[in-house]
Amino acid sequence: MDFSQPAELQDLQERTRRFIAEQVIPLEGDARQTPHGPEESLRAELVARARAAGLLTPHASCEMGGLGLSHAAKAVVFEEAGYSPLGPVALNIHAPDEGNIHLLEVVATPEQKERWLRPLVEGRTRSCFAMTEPAPGAGADPSMLQTTAVRDGDHYVVNGTKWFITGAEGAAFVIVMARMEDGAATMFLADMNQPAIRLERLMDSLDSCFTGGHGVLHFDQLRVPAADVLGGIGKGFRYAQVRLAPARLTHCMRWLGAARRAHDVALAYARRREAFGKRLGEHEGVGFMLADNAMDLHQARLSIAHTAWVLDQGGKGALESSMSKVAVSEAVWRIVDRCVQILGGQGVTGETIVMRIFKDVRAFRIYDGPSEVHRWSIAKKLLEQT
């Protein structure tokens, strides 16, 4: 593995870092932020700034107007964007749109790309991905899918309820997973502005960084033309892996940037704050936490780099992305938790960005598969090896 960065990637990293510092962080106190994410007007302003800086949707293909970044290059840029909770929104690399863009690039027909993907890449629309369901439906176990799709002439009729659907409010379209009559899963594309799709409510959550929050969606006799099937009939679970393996890794990239931000804040505080006759960081209890943070950041970055390398070499990366998801999400949590402890009272108030980061990153150990499910999956793969 070659860890050296080409000159053009170094330039892109520096431009992204400068953009986040100068154009994004000053908006972190903007009043257009809600418990359910940034308002659309704030998102539009951030996207316009990234577009002007030449940094919008860098992971999309050059054909679609992006920069066509490799997974290794994304690791560098996404970490820089994640340094601010608003950074991924600005660059249009936030969940679920980032994963949906990747999925549509791989699976969608040319007509579907023009209708749904291109506006998404251009930052003119948002999307959502509807797979998770209330009990007894699909959650960590996708085989429990309850939403149904029945063929009716040239259409499919979709019925069911989904929840924890990130970005549902204000999304232009949805990718919905439904079970066919034979039990196989299929993905469908549908515009959200249809009476058959109802946003029942937004769910209160710890995090507030996702535009559109997390919603409960109900599909009542939604008629989807056969031309709007995404990929092949019965191949929904296969395409879910096409989306999820890299999406888990890009979550790691973005949250690593957030953890680095929290560490930088705590380190600066430990350097200037004095207690018991010396700087706070000179006390071993605090100094050791800072050292542990540095090691966790380093190891998380190596884990991401290795998995990105596997994906760039053409590997499926399912095992590697699961391992990175667990390792990085738990490292990020440890880092940010230590930062709260180092900051003391400032860590549990809005005096610094750290409290906000703390609330955002807790869910990372659950999103895209809880750590326990990934450990179970990793163990199964290990036991199957000969």
272-294 pLDDT per residue, tens = 999 999 999 999 999 999 999 99
Q: Which residue intervals of the chain bear CATH 1.20.140.10?
A: 237-384
pLDDT of res. 1: 62
Residues in the chain: 386
Q: Which token pair is 357?
A: 């980061």
CATH number of 237-384: 1.20.140.10
Q: Is the pLDDT of residue 202 over 80?
A: yes
Q: pLDDT band for position 4 (50/70/90)?
A: confident
Residue range 215-227, pLDDT digits in tens: 999 999 999 999 9
HEC states along 258-306?
HHHHHHHHHHHHHHHCEECCEEHHHCHHHHHHHHHHHHHHHHHHHHHHH
> What is the pLDDT averaged over residues 109-133?
97
At a CB cut-off of 8 Å and minimum separation 6, what does 313 contact?
none
Inter-residue contact 175 to 100 (CB < 8 Å)? yes
- Return the closest-CA partner of residue 90 out of 35, 61, 36, 53: 53
Half-sphere exposure of 231 (CA within 13 A, CB side): 20
Q: Is the pLDDT of residue 84 over 70?
A: yes
- Phi, psi dihedrals of residue 102, rounded to the nearest 5°: -60, -45
> What is the pLDDT averaged over residues 225-243?
93
Burial 296-334 (b: 16+ CB within 10 A, else e): bbeebbebbbbbbbbbeeeeebbbbbbbbbbbbbebbbb
Q: Is the pTM of this model over 0.75?
A: yes
Q: pLDDT band for position 315 (50/70/90)?
A: confident
Inter-residue contact 165 to 129 (CB < 8 Å)? yes
Residue in the block written with tokens 């439904």: 178
Q: Is the pLDDT of residue 318 over 80?
A: yes
Q: Which residue intervals of the chain bear CATH 1.10.540.10?
A: 7-94
279/332 Cα distance (integer angstroms): 25
Alpha helix segments (H runs only) across the chain: 7-19, 40-52, 71-81, 87-91, 97-107, 110-112, 118-121, 236-272, 284-312, 318-343, 354-361, 371-384
What does pLDDT average to over the chain? Answer: 96
Q: Which token pair is 272?
A: 């200037």
CATH number of 7-94: 1.10.540.10
Percent of the chain predicted with pLDDT > 90: 93
Residue range 28-49, pLDDT digits in tens: 999 999 999 999 999 999 999 9
Residue in the block written with tokens 């809880």: 370
Q: Which residue intervals of the chain bear CATH 2.40.110.10?
A: 127-234
305/80 Cα distance (integer angstroms): 15
CATH number of 127-234: 2.40.110.10
